[in-house]
Structure formats: structure tokens, C-alpha cells
Amino acid sequence: MSECTHDCSTCSANCAGAAQEPVPEGCTHDCSTCTQNCSSREASAADFRKKPHAMSSIKKVIGVVSGKGGVGKSLVTSMLAVELNRLGYHTAILDADITGPSIPKAFGLTQKAQGTEFGLLPVSSKFGIDIMSVNLLLPDESDPVVWRGPIIAGEVEQFWTEVIWKDVDFMFVDMPPGTGDVPLTVFQSIPIDGLIVVTSPQQLVSMIVTKAIKMAQLMDVPILGLVENMSFLQCPDCGKRLSVFGESQIDEVAEKFGLKVLAKLPIDPALARNVDDGQIELYEGEYLGDAVKAIEEML
């Protein structure tokens, strides 16, 4: 190819260079601003999602996220799984909060996850909710997980690809807080069908949850709506609602992004006792009715 002009459009030779599609004129390498259907664009839109275990069957996956820790994300995850389980759906929880796994405690699980020659098996709760969490694999649930980000992200992927999730209608992924490595891994690796964003009334939390919403939008994951936890405390004597953590900001945040407010959960000492006693499945209340309806409509 001594006379090659590097212009493949005028050349009939079947060389390696000709196999490469020429870059469109004026290409900025920013595919989000381009309408050309070139191979570079196809590569940029490649699907990095991992396939679940070959023996798994999962209809819908819902991520439960927050912009920071301590706002009740795991609580909302557990309550949603319980509510839909009561309606006859087979629900499951993938606990992706590797360094702060609280799901097994809420369900009173003490046994360890078992494996077969085919893969890992989730642990079933008293009422049949399938759960996988790092605490179900550690020798002692109080052992700290002192791992770096890539290892934690890899563990989350394993919960998706190596655990056998059988006949699951709704899987809830309890996401780690923030917008770092592990949330990014979940968004990229697991086909999330919708998100529930959990927040609390403080202005600081509302600012941080905005980051979580923007990350979801950036990753093109649909948001089902917002849930505000610790929204108020109802006085047991007079019935008055007390804004313990300040006035709610959730309606303003929801309006700003065109989202629905699915629930405002009160501070409920009875619910807290259920969690502490490992009996979240026995809680009474219909706090998440709108959220449950939004999830049911996904099927």
C-alpha cells in the first residue's frame, strides 16, 4: 500500500485501515451532540450491564437511593419488600450497602447464606422474602468490611451474577449512599427499572438528595418518586404533628424536578422497635401505599 492516501472512500483495497469507518467531518467526539450513526457512537452507547445468574428469574428491579447515609434508605427498602410481599408478590432484596449492611438485622436473619455447585442461594425471611447481604457471608455480623471501592463494587456485581434469584417479581436494591464507585457500578451493571429516592426534612439533606436525582438522570434511570422519612412526629396525647427536623423541603424538590412525592413517613417508635427486634415484617401501617401502587404499575 505504498500509494495509500488514507482516504478509504476512494480506495477499493480490503486492508485493515479500510475496515475502520472514517470519522465524520467535524466530529467533536461528543456523541451526545451528534446525530451520526457511526461505529464510534455505537461503541459509546455500549451496554455494560451484567446478566444475572443463568438460573435467575427477575421481572423488575427497583433501586432505593439517597444522597447521604442515615435517612432511612434501608428502612424504606425493607418496608417496600414487605408491603409487596403481603400483596402476594415474590420480593427480594439485594443489599448493595456493603459497608453498612442493616437489612439482615431488620429481618432478624442470623443464618449464613449457602452455596451449591451452581451458585449462591439467598436467605429467605420468615415470610419468604429472599435476601442477600454481605452480613450473611461474614463469620460475625459485627466484622467491619474494610475494603477499597473496586472490591466493594465487585462484590455487588457478584450478588447479581452469582446468586440464584428464583421467580422474583420485584427485587429491591438497597444502594449505598452518595454518588461514588458502588452506586455507579450498580447503575452500569444492573438493569434498574426504576428508582425510589429517600430523603429527610433537613435543608442540607434536600441539597444532597438533589445530587442523587441528578446522578440518576445522568445515568438515564427513571425515578418513580421521592419518599421523605422522619417527616414528622405525631404527639400521642394531642395528635399534633411536630416537625422535629424542621419543615419539609420535599415538595419543593419534587416540583423542581417534576417528580412525585410518594410518601412522608412519620417518626414511629413502634416501627423502630420492629426493626431493632428483627421483626420488620410485623410492622403495621400503610405509609407507602402510593409507592407500592407506582411499583405495581411497572408489571
Dihedral, CA of residue 108, residue 110, residue 115 and residue 120, to nearest 10: 40
What number is the average pLDDT over the span 58-80? 92
Rounded to the nearest 5°, which phi and psi values hold at 78?
Answer: -65, -45
What number is the average pLDDT over the span 95-122? 92
Q: Which of 45-54, 92-101, 136-145 has the highest mean pLDDT?
A: 92-101
Give the pLDDT confidence score for residue 8 in this predicted structure: 56
What number is the average pLDDT over the span 7-34? 54
For 63, the enclosing helix (H) or strand (E) is strand 58-65
* Contact status, residue 216 vs residue 67, Cβ threshold 8 Å: no
Strand partners, 123: 131
Out of 94-98, 105-109, 145-149, pick the least confident: 145-149
For 83, the enclosing helix (H) or strand (E) is helix 73-86
pLDDT band at 19 (very low <50, low <70, confident <90, very high): very low
pLDDT band at 32 (very low <50, low <70, confident <90, very high): very low
Give the pLDDT confidence score for residue 148 in this predicted structure: 72
What number is the average pLDDT over the span 148-152? 74
pTM of the predicted model, to two decimals? 0.81
**pLDDT at residue 44 is higher than 60:** no
What number is the average pLDDT over the span 280-286? 89
Give the pLDDT confidence score for residue 21 in this predicted structure: 47
E-strand stretches of 87-159: 91-95, 114-115, 120-121, 123-124, 130-132
What number is the average pLDDT over the span 119-142? 91
What number is the average pLDDT over the span 75-81? 97
